[in-house]
Structure 1
Amino acid sequence: MISAAVLVFAITYVQGELLPLELTTTAGCYYQGSYYPIGSFKPTPCEYCQCTTSGQAMCAIADCFITPCVDAIHEKDKCCPTCPNGHNCKAPDGHIIKAGDTYHMNRYTTCHCDGHQFGSNLAVCAHIAIDPHHFPHSG
């Protein structure tokens, strides 16, 4: 972080001489190569900064929560990823299941997305075990 004050001169030409009309100081901050005036500024969608009167830039970086979906997108003007299709989960075969829905992956496997599993976007699946020795025989 580099602090700086910018001196602004207004000059006039009077009878062959250059005279400064006014001298003003505009204080601000340099942060990552850019100049910002005193006050709040936002250099990126995730950074919230304050330029103090002493020329210091103080910044906080936003922390994003885990996205509650498997198909999140990251828009360039937003800090955190969003879920355009709402909360969802992924079945082991890659199928995306909406929160609250059940998906029959095959005859023996049913997967459910309850949307309440913190930190995991995998569907909960149940497998029905079939014992071939206990199948009723026809005939």
Structure 2
Amino acid sequence: MSGAKTSILLVLLVYQCPTVMLGRDCTWLYEDVRAGQEFYPTPCVRCNCSETGMVTCTSLCELPTCVDQITREGECCPICPNGPNCYVGDKIIPAGKAVKIDRKVCRCPDPWPGDGYLHTIADCRPDGCFYENGSFYRSGEHFEPSPCKFCTCPLEGGEVICYETTSCFEPCVDGVTHPDKCCPSCPNGYNCYYGDEIVPGLPGDKFERDGKTCQCPKKFWQSSQAECVD
């Protein structure tokens, strides 16, 4: 019986003491780094030794948006003292606008920042214009980026010239604006207000109300209320 009791105790002890697996250490430049430890080989780089013995590092700086970046003394990350820019050959041009060089129109790539060497080189085309979204248009070409916006690329190329219709006035008080059209339409015909009543009629059309002679206003953009005289 004593032998049986001893066997039971041994089983319980093994169950209560599971094996603990420790993570593997890492080696960085011939130095040991403990698993889970975070370290900084340079002020701008953060590294971590994983439980599997692998070192992973992350830069604390964003990619610079220029080709002439500098790092000031005492600081970690580079900055762009002249703003975002890119190369055209050995020349540097500012980002955000088209520049004419050697009978070509050049523009820094968009969107910025890039993720490699190609993003530091400008996109250059024959005479024409670049628009905001990077689209290219030939000299003299007209286009409409939206129903109310009209643009043209000048004959000499360079910057796109646009004008936008900011206000449209149709002579009705119940106009409807469609997403593919610039100005509202009048689905129920032309009309104006007499108080809270909607009265059909063109600007200048006369009608009688409450012993008064009224007409829909000719300057509809100033008022939609009918003009009345006793």
Question: Normalising TM by the smaller chain, what interval?
Answer: 0.5 to 0.7
User: Counterparts of 1:112 and 1:72 in 2: how far apart (Å)?
Assistant: 25
Q: What secondary structure is seen at the aligned counterpart in 2 of 1:42?
A: strand
Q: Give 1:9's aligned residue.
A: none
Q: Give 1:71's aligned residue.
A: 174
Q: Give 2:144's aligned residue.
A: 42
Q: CA deviation at 1:116?
A: 4.2
- Cα gap change, 1:117/1:111 in structure 2, threshold over 3 Å: closer, same or farther? farther
Q: What secondary structure is seen at the aligned counterpart in 1 of 2:136?
A: strand
User: Counterparts of 1:67 and 1:112 in 2: how far apart (Å)?
Assistant: 23
- Could you list the per-position Cα deviations for residues 67-126 of structure 1 after superposition, in whole angstroms to 9, with x for gaps in the alignment? 21111111111112222222211121x22110147475xxxx357652343132112457
User: Counterparts of 1:122 and 1:90 in 2: how far apart (Å)?
Assistant: 5
Which is richer in strand? 1
- Cα gap change, 1:123/1:115 in structure 2, threshold over 3 Å: closer, same or farther? closer
Q: CA deviation at 1:31?
A: 2.3
- Could you list the per-position Cα deviations for residues 17-40 of structure 1 after superposition, in whole angstroms to 9, with x for gaps in the alignment? xxxxxxx94554332324132111
Q: Does 1:90 align with 2:196?
A: no
Q: Does 1:62 align with 2:165?
A: yes
TM-score by length of 2: 0.37
Which is richer in helix? 2
Cα RMSD, aligned residues only: 3.2
Q: Give runs of aligned pairs for residues 1-139 of structure 1, distance below 5 A.
A: 2-3=97-98, 4-5=105-106, 25-38=125-138, 39-52=141-154, 53-62=156-165, 64-92=167-195, 94-99=196-201, 100=205, 102=207, 109=210, 114-118=215-219, 119-124=222-227
Aligned residue pairs: how many?
A: 105
Q: Give 1:131's aligned residue.
A: none
Structure 1: runs of 5 or more not aligned: 7-23, 128-139
Structure 2: runs of 5 or more not aligned: 1-95, 99-104, 108-123
- Cα gap change, 1:86/1:36 in structure 2, threshold over 3 Å: closer, same or farther? farther
Which is greater in Rg? 2
Q: Percent of aligned positions with the same letter in both sequences?
A: 30
